C-alpha cells in the first residue's frame, strides 16, 4: 500500500535538488524547479530526518511542437478535458460577464507518435 503525504513548503526536513544542474536547478527548500537547457534530469527530494530516504522524479525539458489552449467554464472543470465542454483555441472564444473560466493548456511532442507532454504546474 502506497501512502502519499503532502509536504508543506518550505520544509526544514526536506532538501530538493536536480541531478543534472545544466538542465535544471531546484530551490533547495521550496522544491521549485527552473529549466535551464533542453535535456533530462532527476528531481530529488531527501528527508533529512532519515538517512538515505529519497524520492526522485524524472524531468524532461523539451520544446513542444504544438500548444493548444482550451477555454473551460468553471462549472464543469471537475471533469477535464475528456467529456467536458472545452473550447479549443482554434475557434473563436465567446465569454460572458459573470461567468468564470479556466484556461487549460495542453502541449504535444512532435514526431510520428504525437503524445501529450504533461505539465504538473503552470
Query: pTM for this structure?
Result: 0.58
Phi-psi category of 52—alpha, beta or left, where left has phi over 0 and alpha has psi -120 to 50?
left
φ/ψ of 73, rounded to 5, equals -60, 135
Q: How many Cβ atoms from other residues are within 10 Å of residue 49's Cβ? A: 9
Query: C-alpha cell of 11?
Result: 520544509
How confident is the model over 34-85, as pLDDT tens digits? Answer: 999 999 999 999 988 988 889 899 988 888 888 888 888 877 545 454 555 6
Amino acid at each position: 500500500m502506497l501512502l502519499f503525504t503532502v509536504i508543506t513548503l518550505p520544509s526544514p526536513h526536506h532538501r530538493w535538488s536536480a541531478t543534472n544542474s545544466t538542465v535544471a536547478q531546484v530551490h533547495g527548500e521550496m522544491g521549485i524547479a527552473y529549466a535551464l537547457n533542453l535535456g533530462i534530469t532527476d528531481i530529488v527530494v531527501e528527508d533529512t530526518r532519515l538517512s538515505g530516504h529519497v524520492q526522485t522524479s524524472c524531468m524532461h525539458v523539451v520544446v513542444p511542437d504544438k500548444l493548444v489552449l482550451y477555454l473551460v467554464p468553471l462549472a464543469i472543470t471537475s471533469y477535464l478535458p475528456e467529456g467536458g465542454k472545452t473550447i479549443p483555441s482554434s475557434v473563436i472564444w465567446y465569454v460572458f460577464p459573470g461567468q468564470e473560466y479556466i484556461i487549460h493548456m495542453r502541449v504535444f511532442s512532435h514526431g510520428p507518435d504525437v503524445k501529450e507532454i504533461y505539465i504538473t504546474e503552470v
